[in-house]
């Protein structure tokens, strides 16, 4: 299959290369019959513009990068990632963009990657997942004027020049904890995380909900995990010594681990210990017992990240976009005493 050029298509259609270019780019002032003739030839030949040539002259590649910094090999298997990747990929297609994937496992790899991405002009913009608190590469992006949007609230809220899409982690944790209080629980433990702002916000929501109902926060009842199932399992084992009657777990994958820990020592959920998770992963409804959790709109988050970035690309970087999506308490068996 031959690769055609504008010049050749022009010759076949009996017009100049510019006219063909205009037809392709939908310029208004083309005589209808010329336009039609050209389109005919394009259809027959299957001509498609060379993207390198286009990028070179327009300074736009129509490629956006999805940058996921320091994703641990194990944590990446959390179903959150496939979902967000799928959403982003799909939204890019819809908008005729291509998405390139950048996964780094160490901080050094990360900065090398950023250099490569930023300097060569391969990508028009970047979507960044706010995986951890080290965001030392952000100044580089800003220095090079690479538009980007972050998924998840930025760590440093004093600088408010970063566009982001977040879900309402604070409210979610507050719903979850309040729900447990309403069920009559007082010794409500938490399996927390400390790696990103989602964890920070969920922790705040948990604490605030307790305080509002006059329950003192007991630091003994807070254990830390890293979003992996194993870490949830281990955190639950530690918590068992403290005899909580309920646990708010900051992610469903850790909640699955926690359930396993309880199951192994024959503690009944929800009768002996109630559990609420966070994410509403596909499997949450299929666990036994089915998992009460906070549903966050993962797919929508990915879609919005793409649309926001493209909007920034097409207009300007101002104003900064900040979007916080609502979450929802989904009550299932793991928290219902009756």
Select the residue interacting with a copy of itself from 131, 201, 226, 229 (CB under 8 A).
Answer: 229
- Nearer CB in complex with DNA: 6/66: 6
Work out what residue 145 binds among DNA, a copy of itself, none; the CB cut-off runs from 5 to 8 Å by kind: a copy of itself
Work out what residue 5 binds among DNA, a copy of itself, none; the CB cut-off runs from 5 to 8 Å by kind: DNA
Give least dist CB 267 to a copy of itself, A.
14
Residues 11-30, interacting with DNA (CB under 7 A): 14-19, 21-22, 24-25, 28-30
Neighbours of 212 (CB within 10 A): 12
Angle between helices 6-13 and 32-45 (to 10 degrees): 120
- Nearer CB in complex with a copy of itself: 118/171: 118
Select the residue interacting with a copy of itself from 17, 24, 121, 218 (CB under 8 A).
Answer: 121
Instruction: Report the alpha-carbon distance of residue 333 to residue 326 in Å, rounded.
Output: 23
Q: How many chain residues bind a copy of itself (CB under 8 A)?
A: 60
Beta strands in 171-212 (DSSP E): 188-193
Q: Which stretch binds a copy of itself (CB under 8 A): 52-60, 148-156, 194-202, 269-277?
A: 52-60
Among 117, 20, 116, 87, which Cα is nearest to 299's?
87
Instruction: Decide: 84 and 152 in contact? Cβ < 8 Å.
Output: no
- Cβ-in-10-Å burial (0-12, 13-18, 19+) of 146 comes to middle
Residues recorded for the chain:
338
Q: Which stretch binds a copy of itself (CB under 8 A): 141-149, 158-166, 235-243, 318-326?
A: 141-149
Give least dist CB 149 to DNA, A.
25
Find residue 276's DSSP bridge partners.
248, 292
Instruction: Decide: 265 and 293 in contact? Cβ < 8 Å.
Output: no
Instruction: Report the alpha-carbon distance of residue 185 to residue 22 in Å, rounded.
Output: 68
Residues 237-296, interacting with a copy of itself (CB under 8 A): 257, 260, 263-264, 281-283, 286, 288
Select the residue interacting with DNA from 36, 40, 46, 53 (CB under 7 A).
Answer: 53
Instruction: Decide: 269 and 334 in contact? Cβ < 8 Å.
Output: yes
Q: Is residue 143 close enough to count as binding a copy of itself by CB under 8 A?
A: yes
Among 185, 158, 167, which Cα is nearest to 271's?
185
Residue 257, H or E segment: helix 252-264
Residues 164-223, interacting with DNA (CB under 7 A): none
Residues 54-73, interacting with DNA (CB under 7 A): 54, 56-58
Q: Using CB under 7 A as the criterion, which residues of the chain lie in contact with DNA when the complex forms?
A: 3, 5-7, 10, 14-19, 21-22, 24-25, 28-31, 34-35, 49-50, 53-54, 56-58
């Amino acid at each position: 299959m031959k690769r055609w050029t504008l010049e050749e298509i022009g010759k076949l259609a009996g017009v100049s290369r510019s006219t063909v270019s205009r037809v392709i780019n939908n310029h208004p002032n083309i005589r209808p019959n010329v336009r039609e003739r050209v389109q005919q030839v394009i259809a027959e030949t299957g001509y498609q513009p060379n993207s390198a040539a286009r990028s070179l002259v327009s300074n736009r590649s129509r490629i956006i990068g999805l940058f996921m910094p320091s994703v641990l090999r194990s944590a990446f298997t959390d179903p959150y990632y496939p979902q967000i990747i799928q959403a982003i990929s799909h939204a890019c297609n819809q908008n005729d963009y291509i998405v390139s994937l950048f996964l780094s496992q160490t901080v050094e790899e990360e900065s090398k990657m950023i250099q490569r991405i930023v300097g060569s002009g391969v990508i028009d913009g970047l979507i960044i997942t706010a995986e951890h608190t080290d965001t030392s590469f952000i100044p580089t992006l800003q220095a090079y004027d690479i538009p980007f949007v972050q998924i998840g609230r930025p760590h440093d809220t004093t600088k408010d020049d970063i566009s982001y899409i977040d879900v309402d982690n604070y409210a979610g944790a507050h719903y979850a904890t309040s729900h447990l209080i309403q069920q009559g629980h007082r010794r409500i433990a938490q399996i927390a995380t400390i790696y990103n702002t989602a964890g920070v916000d969920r922790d705040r929501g948990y604490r605030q909900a307790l305080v509002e109902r006059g329950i003192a926060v007991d630091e003994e009842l807070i254990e830390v995990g890293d979003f992996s199932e194993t870490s949830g399992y281990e955190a639950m084992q530690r918590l068992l010594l403290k005899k909580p009657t309920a646990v708010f777990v900051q992610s469903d994958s850790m909640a699955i681990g926690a359930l396993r820990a309880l199951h192994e020592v024959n503690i009944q959920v929800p009768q002996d210990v109630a559990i609420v998770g966070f994410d509403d992963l596909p499997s949450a409804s299929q666990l036994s017992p089915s998992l009460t959790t906070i549903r966050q709109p993962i797919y929508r988050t990915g879609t919005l990240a793409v649309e926001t970035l493209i909007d920034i690309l097409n207009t300007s970087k101002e104003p900064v976009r900040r979007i916080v999506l609502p979450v929802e308490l989904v009550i299932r068996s793991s928290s219902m005493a009756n």
